[in-house]
């Protein structure tokens, strides 16, 4: 079975290469916080000619939310055991993980939803995000918590969610909402800066 063959090849490679295991394990474990923090910082910092980044960030967040919501329903229906649960003696597990259903991968779903949403609006940075999402997905397989089909399913679901929000009617509304939220944040930051400057005088 291709799923098992690829899983074991990556999992065994990780087991015998500590130099790859440590940085990949760190990245996979930190990925959620890294993606969220990056989107939050970019949304808050994007002003002036970079304000269109806010549209990409909001679309990315909404796409990830939609993908994860649909993925939750699918995972309950499919109820597929993770590799380390199905084969506890044949799969190396490098960190503690819940034995919840593994299809589709939440990490791959969210990562590709974010990456594709950015790709549709910022091609160069979107390619970088796709690479980051791919490394994350491969890492989840190598660490023994997902089958390749789990992350492929998540990648397809996340990409589809991003495309849903790229449809013109929804895209227009998302852009307007991002501009409105961004304008409110800008006014709040400007007010805060003026108030702080007044206190220093």
The residues spanned by each domain of the chain are: 2-188
Is the omega angle on the peptide bond into residue 45 within 30 degrees of 0, that is, cis?
Answer: no
Q: What is the pLDDT of residues 109-137, one digit of tens each?
A: 999 999 999 999 999 999 999 999 999 99
Counting DSSP H helices and E strands in the chain, the numbers are 8, 0
Look over the chain and give the mean of its residue pLDDT values, rounded to a whole number.
92
Nearest of 38, 27, 40, 4 to residue 140 by alpha carbon: 27
Nearest of 15, 3, 9 to residue 147 by alpha carbon: 3
Q: What is the pLDDT of residues 48-60, one digit of tens each?
A: 778 889 999 999 9
Contacts of 35 (CB under 8 A, 6+ apart): 110, 111, 114
190 burial (CB, 10 Å; 0-12 / 13-18 / 19+) is: exposed
Q: Which of 40-44, 129-133, 190-194 has the lowest mean pLDDT?
A: 190-194
First-to-last CA distance in the chain?
72
Across the range 50-78, mean pLDDT stands at 95
Across the range 26-38, mean pLDDT stands at 93
- Residue 198 is predicted with a pLDDT of 61
CATH superfamily of 2-188: Phosphatidic acid phosphatase type 2/haloperoxidase (1.20.144.10)
Specify the residue for token string 């259903």.
101
């Amino acid at each position: 079975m291709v799923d098992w063959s690829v899983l074991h090849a990556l999992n065994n490679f990780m087991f015998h290469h500590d130099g790859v295991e440590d940085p990949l394990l760190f990245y996979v474990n930190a990925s959620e916080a890294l993606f969220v923090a990056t989107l939050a910082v970019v949304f808050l910092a994007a002003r002036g000619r970079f304000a269109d980044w806010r549209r990409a960030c909001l679309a990315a967040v909404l796409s990830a939310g939609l993908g994860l919501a649909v993925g939750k329903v699918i995972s309950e229906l499919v109820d597929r055991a993770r590799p380390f649960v199905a084969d506890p003696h044949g799969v190396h597990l490098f960190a503690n993980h819940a034995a919840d259903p593994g299809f589709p991968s939440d990490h791959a779903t969210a990562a590709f939803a974010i990456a594709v949403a950015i790709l549709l609006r910022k091609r160069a940075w979107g390619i970088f995000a796709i690479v980051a999402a791919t490394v994350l997905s491969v890492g989840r397989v190598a660490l023994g918590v997902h089958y390749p089909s789990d992350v492929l399913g998540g990648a397809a679901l996340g990409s589809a969610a991003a495309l849903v929000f790229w449809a013109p009617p929804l895209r227009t509304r998302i852009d307007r909402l991002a501009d409105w939220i961004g304008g409110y944040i800008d006014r709040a930051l400007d007010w805060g800066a003026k108030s702080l400057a007044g206190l220093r005088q």
